[in-house]
Amino acid sequence: EPEVTQTPSHQVTQMGQEVILRCVPISNHLYFYWYRQILGQKVEFLVSFYNNEISEKSEIFDDQFSVERPDGSNFTLKIRSTKLEDSAMYFCASSGDRPSSGANVLTFGAGSRLTVL
Amino acid sequence: SQQGEEDPQALSIQEGENATMNCSYKTSINNLQWYRQNSGRGLVHLILIRSNEREKHSGRLRVTLDTSKKSSSLLITASRAADTASYFCVLIYNQGGKLIFGQGTELSVKP
């Protein structure tokens, strides 16, 4: 069964450092997403991406965050200068369905745990 | 708030029993989905129900949707220890494609 792959599974970084989280979505999917889950809290939407541009972003996704699809397979989330409160599990997801289709089912990766010290 | 409110927050049952989780919301939705998350792992899509549907089944899962009451329920029949996980009600609104997750119900099935 096709999978969404995320690397690294766990990253520990110092406050103020840049972090890049990588995702390989399912190959024929066109819609990509990042969500995050702070320990013990709900899953929060960060950003959606389609056709090489951001479709929608939340208030969490400020100037410290950026996303990129550098080639035909990878989808990355960059945090420019990490803060303690960025510690969370970050989930990448992809979908073959248009958001407006009303059947927008996402396939999630296993997540990348980011710990900021 | 756009997210669903789930009830109960935690549920502990014996293997073989049925588990029912409820979700209520405030604003009209396009569709509602249920996802499952095993501890510390990724999220897995379980079932989608559209706003014009009332009930859907998938294996041991049964989902109902009452748009007049703005509520949904997920029933897992004949539960197994492997069903132990967090279950999330996820809302999709007409105006956008993003999924809005509720707080989740933590289900524990004891063997």
Residue A102 placed within a domain: no
Per-residue confidence at A104, pLDDT binned at 50, 70, 90? Answer: confident
- Residue B99: pLDDT over 90: no
Residue-wise pLDDT for B61-72, tens only, equals 999 999 999 999
Q: How many residues does chain B have?
A: 111
B32 CB-near residues (< 8 Å, 6+ apart): B4, B23, B25, B48, B49, B51, B63, B65, B72, B89, B90, B91, B92
Q: Is A111 helix (H, G, I), strand (E, B) or coil?
A: coil
Which domains, from first to last, does chain B contain?
Answer: 5-110 (2.60.40.10)
pLDDT for res A100: 64
> B43 and chain A: CB distance < 8 Å anywhere?
yes
Q: Is the CB of B98 less than 8 angstroms away from the CB of A42?
A: no
Q: Is the CB of A102 less than 8 angstroms away from the CB of B92?
A: yes
Residue-wise pLDDT for B75-90, tens only, equals 999 999 999 999 999 9
- Residue A1: pLDDT over 90: no
Distance from A64 to chain B by nearest Cα, in Å?
21
Our count of domains for chain A comes to: 1
Residue A20 placed within a domain: yes
CB pairs under 8 A between A and B: 61
Round to whole Å and give the CA distance between B88 and B34. 6
Q: Searching chain A, which residue's CA lies closest to the CA of residue B99? A: A45
In this structure, what CATH number is given to the domain that contains residue A54? 2.60.40.10
Residue-wise pLDDT for A46-61, tens only, equals 999 988 899 889 999 9
Residue-wise pLDDT for A23-37, tens only, equals 999 998 989 999 999
> A45 and chain B: CB distance < 8 Å anywhere?
yes
Span A65-84, average pLDDT = 93
Residue A53 placed within a domain: yes
Residue A52 placed within a domain: yes
Residues in B touching A61 (Cβ below 8 Å): none
pLDDT for res B94: 65
Residue A35 placed within a domain: yes
Round to whole Å and give the CA distance between B106 and B111. 16
> B77 and chain A: CB distance < 8 Å anywhere?
no
Mean pLDDT of all residues belonging to chain B? 91
Domain ranges, residue A44: 5-97+108-112
**Residue B64 carries which side chain, given as an amino acid letter?**
T
Span B34-39, average pLDDT = 92
Which range scores top for mean pLDDT: A5-19, A100-114, B39-53?
Answer: A5-19
Q: Is the CB of B41 less than 8 angstroms away from the CB of A44?
A: no
Q: Which of B48, B96, B102 sits opposite A99 (nearest CB)?
A: B96
Closest to A114 in 3D by CA, of A3, A17, A26: A17
Chain A stretch 14-43, residues whose beta carbon is closer than 8 A to a beta carbon of chain B: 31, 33, 35, 42-43
Round to whole Å and give the CA distance between A96 and A99. 9
pLDDT for res B42: 85
- Residue A94: pLDDT over 60: yes
